[in-house]
Structure 1
Amino acid sequence: MIIIKINILAMKTSFRIFAVFLLISGSFNTRAQVSPKANTLDTYFLEALSKWEVPGMAVAIIRNDTIELLKGYGVREIGNPGKVDENTLFAVASNTKSFTATAISMLIDEGKLKLDDKVVDYLPWFRLYDPYVTLNMTIRDLLCHRSGLETFSGDLIWYGSSYSRDEIIQRASFLKPNYGFRANYGYSNIMYLTAGQIIAKVSGMSWDEFISSRILTPLGMNHTNTSITKLDMKGNTAMPHNDVDDKVIAIQYLNWDNIGPAGSINSSAADMIKWIEFQLKKGKLNDQVLVSEKSLREQWSPQTIQKVSAFSEKLWPSTHFKTYGLGWGMMDYHGKKVISHSGGYDGMISFSAFIPEANLGFVILTNKNSSLYYPLSYKILDTYLSNDTIDWSSKFFDLIEKNKEAELTQKKEDEQLRISGTSPTLSLNKYVGSYISLIYGEAKVELVDDKLYLKFLPTPIFHSPLEHWQYNTFTIKFPDVPALPEGKVSFILGPDSDVEKMLIDVPNPDFDFTELDFIRQK
């Protein structure tokens, strides 16, 4: 069974640097020319878009300094005629991490910090669960996902919440590690947020200002921004979409400003291919060096090893290693080193990649919570790096359909295991109250129209009626977050037969509700 969801991002700059940026700002001298390979892919993309029921997509491919494909497909919003083009804006989510890592590299080039500097030297208030890890965590550790935390641990602190960037990092001190320090890969958005706050501390400007003035403006990424507050929702902006009750629906953008350095950038195919070309040119823009090749090579070098699963070995026998560098993932494919990153936003999935040996790079932006980018990325790689003609779109579509069937079977099995004819141990008003999690904060259970109702106070989108399941367990379904499935809330009684704690489980690949241990306040 396969689940592919990504999930599950100061104006003290000297006048000298600003003047240099004015001189070199703008586009690369890149020629546009559609190749036969790109023509073949163009047809394939159209068919795949329809098959996967994704409303819209934009794709860019560059090879040997020539843009071979730069095109939009489908519509910006289902039910509306506005077409996607090369300048349509999408949330690129975790593709933001490569920008944050490059910003760190720029500061290293300037001698303002080092990769192996301790985090506490810049953020003295930084804390993690283990004091040893707190004192020894380096900037490198922040950027290569080896803090010891499980993948996505703590993401419920920031997702849709009112917490500031500093408050999120402070709350992460209560997250219990799942691995030894530097012993295992565990993808962490909060560690990237921490790196962003170091950028702000060292540069004297916010992370957003640094990314805009030092990267976006010089590269001529004029449509790109770091916050959905800068999007024109009635303009050339793609809307996010999800599948709900077997229908594709448009959903509202969710503000990710509080996790900005990990995932808040919005961009277009035309702008993102400039970012990829910048990588292929090893940090140069029209012969001007914005970031040293030495620093970029460090970003593209293995830092944390990832496992190649048996499933992966069978499907892609030419892939022998997978690893994470600094802001980029790496693997080998058809004898070439592929450097890439994906991005998963609410109702949008994106992917960017480049292959230095082949002088090839590409970007895929989609406006639905769909794994379509995955087969398309392999189709592009096969087309340019081999003679393989595998129909990855059909292969993965079938795999995901089987996965859906397995999920339905599991749901039926859960129903069969349900013990019928039970009732809550206590009267409903005994479950009402304030519940505190050190990691997250406060949640409240209220009695509304003779039914229990759960609210996560820092996160207004997390609210749900509690429907009785069995004994002291209830089901929940967050109406404002349709991508999340139904979950369960179990109330645990103490020795005095009063409610002591509340445990929540919403099975999904992006957010771990089980790490939130809500204790009822007396």
Structure 2
Amino acid sequence: MKIAAHRRFSFCLIHLTLSWMSSWLLLASPTACCFAQETSPAIAAIEQQRGRKTLLQCNEDERNTRIQRFRAYAETALDGWPVPGFSIGIVQDGKVLFAEGFGVRTPSNSEAVDGDTLFAIASNSKAFTAAALAILVDEKKLHWDDRVQEHLPSFRLFDPYVSSDMRVVDLLCHRSGLGTFSGDLLWYGTPYTPEEILARCRHLPQAGPFRSHYGYSNVMYLAAGLIVEKVGQKPWGEFIQERILEPLHMKRSVTSTTKLASMTNIASPHKNTEGGIEEIPWMNWDSMAAAGGIISSARDMSQWMILQLNEGEWKGKPIFSKESSDAMWQPRTIIPVSAASKKRIPQTHFRSYALGWGLADYRGKQLVSHGGGYDGMYSHQILIPEEKFGVIVLTNSMTSLPDSLAYRAVDMALGAPDRDWSEENLKRYSDSRKEFYDRIREVVTPKVPNTNPSHPLEAYSGVFRCPLLGDAKVTVESEHLVLQIQANPNMVADLEPIHYDTFRIKWRNKFAWYDDGAILFIPNATGELVELKLDVPNDDLWFHELQFRRVPE
């Protein structure tokens, strides 16, 4: 799951670049009082905003004028960003104000994007999994504080205490002690089921203290999806379809790429390359659907935002209770606000993660949001509960455009001064892509020229086993080495010497998140090559977690 370089995410991920908010004022000491007498940039921005109507306060003509200005701003993004097309949904006070498309589904056929075009929403699916558990909590079939092992007895992580004391609520707020995106290679392109993925998670390293370290975890949402399946007595996808999508009349939304074959008006994913964009196939994410598997449209997601802003009620029908809505929007895990983030958005002082949602303050308002990053598609969603406002941006490319347009819409809703988020983020995105490809060049460029492998090629061949992921096989083909990561049939690479026992990884297939990398063969004291280490620069899939050792013949 993405977020200039993130998935879940992202996104993208998110990471996925998520948005969050809740504003405090501390005047508890004389020192604090002295500081309070000075006008901070954030307070100055709020004072500048005073006297400007929010969108909710506007009459119909004023609202339509703002929407038209926003539409014109969104159209300009097609000129600068490497994004073929995107769709935007905006809601306020229980109504859909805007559900439109821009650009094309893919440049190869020039079919237009509209408000019903389907995109992967990726990690925006996490809130659906949280809502599914909320429904079961309302039905008294489970409790947020149930131990995970009560429902999944085989659940194991890096520590016996953590394994036994992990609660359902812990699965949803990224405080398991695992690192961000840890274990994502277990589900990415592998045949492993969610049960098999979780069984292998016991090999993942601890990255921080349980319940106090923020580490964005897709694999913990797989566990949450299995609890939905076990307690709800039907597969996660069926539960989401029957208890959420159908009641909300989200008629075009599905929970698997396997449903797309019979559907039309579907955007194509695109990888952003050094030279532009490239259409790529849809990737099946069924094994991690509970963390990021839903495919939807701006119009359908508008119904979802209305449900959320109505605290679980949709057109007079309760989907989940107000108590559960409150529970899902309570801050659970603190997320540090970096110096760079403070400089970029000085109106945000606090960030935290709730249950499937990120929280933050912005211009004195609470934002409830999430980003999503899928292979070739990024998205961003922001709700302002006090303004009964929501916006979602879905794109068929991997850039930070969704964040830019979502924040522009938020500023429109709050009556804030215009800010050219698109121009600012395009520069930041372009710089990040240059840095990404520089990282790859650094890894694959020989540090010691004119060297040769220390052993005959046959000495490098064999089977190498990783307790986490499974086997890797190295063979000799046509006088060069070939690597096969057997858990992922698409991970086949030709190996070219860089220097000594380090080889360049040249993948035969294209991947959305990474390109070439390097592999190092490590000898033991007798000179036998017994270990592999992979260095594949990217920001989402951690090849450094893979520890391969030779399997004796």
Q: For this structure pair, what is the TM-score category when the shorter chain's length is used for normalisation?
A: over 0.9
The residue aligned with 1:25 is none
User: Is the partner of 1:40 in helix, strand or coil?
Assistant: helix
**CA 1:174–1:366 in structure 2 vs 1: closer, same or farther (change >3 Å)?**
same
The residue aligned with 2:133 is 104
The residue aligned with 2:291 is 262
The residue aligned with 1:311 is 340
The residue aligned with 1:517 is 547
Shift, 1:480, TM fit:
2.6
Shift, 1:92, TM fit:
0.7
Shift, 1:414, TM fit:
5.7
Structure 1 contact 223–267 (Cα < 8 Å) conserved: yes
**CA 1:443–1:195 in structure 2 vs 1: closer, same or farther (change >3 Å)?**
same
Is 1:343 aligned with 2:375?
no
User: Is the partner of 2:243 in helix, strand or coil?
Assistant: helix
Cα deviations by residue, 1:184-229 (Å, 9 ceiling, x for unpaired)? 1001111001011011111111111110110011010010010000
Structure 1 contact 503–514 (Cα < 8 Å) conserved: yes
The residue aligned with 2:476 is 447
User: Is the partner of 1:418 in helix, strand or coil?
Assistant: coil
**CA 1:260–1:70 in structure 2 vs 1: closer, same or farther (change >3 Å)?**
same
- The residue type paired with residue 267 of structure 1 is S
Alignment partner of 2:303 out of 267, 274, 283: 274
Is 1:490 aligned with 2:512?
no
- The residue type paired with residue 170 of structure 1 is A
Give runs of aligned pairs for residues 53-92 of structure 1, distance below 5 A: 53-92=82-121
Separation in 2, partners of 1:368, 1:416: 29
Separation in 1, partners of 2:64, 2:453: 66
Cα deviations by residue, 1:382-439 (Å, 9 ceiling, x for unpaired)? 1211422111111111122233344455566667771101111111111111111111
RMSD of aligned Cα (Å): 1.8
Gaps of 5+ in 2: 14-59
Shift, 1:477, TM fit:
3.2
User: Is the partner of 2:145 in helix, strand or coil?
Assistant: coil
Q: How many residues align?
A: 499
Separation in 1, partners of 2:116, 2:448: 54
Separation in 2, partners of 1:202, 1:239: 35
Which moved further from structure 2: 99-108 or 33-42? Answer: 33-42
User: Is the partner of 1:308 in helix, strand or coil?
Assistant: coil
Give runs of aligned pairs for residues 406-445 of structure 1, distance below 5 A: 406-407=435-436, 418-445=447-474
Is 1:132 aligned with 2:161?
yes
The residue aligned with 1:371 is 400
Separation in 1, partners of 2:187, 2:438: 33
**CA 1:417–1:147 in structure 2 vs 1: closer, same or farther (change >3 Å)?**
same
Structure 2 contact 436–538 (Cα < 8 Å) conserved: no
The residue aligned with 1:506 is 536
Separation in 2, partners of 1:510, 1:411: 15
Structure 1 contact 462–481 (Cα < 8 Å) conserved: no
Separation in 1, partners of 2:218, 2:415: 35
Give runs of aligned pairs for residues 221-300 of structure 1, distance below 5 A: 221-232=250-261, 235-300=264-329
Give runs of aligned pairs for residues 12-51 of structure 1, distance below 5 A: 35-51=64-80
Alignment partner of 1:144 out of 173, 178, 187: 173
- Tell me the TM-score normalized by structure 2: 0.87
The residue aligned with 2:389 is 360
Which moved further from structure 2: 480-489 or 454-463? Answer: 480-489
Is 1:182 aligned with 2:215?
no
User: Is the partner of 2:463 in helix, strand or coil?
Assistant: strand
User: Is the partner of 1:297 in helix, strand or coil?
Assistant: helix
Separation in 2, partners of 1:362, 1:432: 53
Is 1:52 aligned with 2:81?
yes
Structure 2 contact 4–399 (Cα < 8 Å) conserved: no
The residue aligned with 1:320 is 349
Shift, 1:183, TM fit:
1.9
Separation in 1, partners of 2:388, 2:475: 59
Separation in 1, partners of 2:516, 2:453: 20
Separation in 2, partners of 1:497, 1:223: 59
- The residue type paired with residue 76 of structure 2 is E
- The residue type paired with residue 109 of structure 1 is D
Which moved further from structure 2: 258-267 or 233-242? Answer: 233-242
User: Is the partner of 2:271 in helix, strand or coil?
Assistant: strand
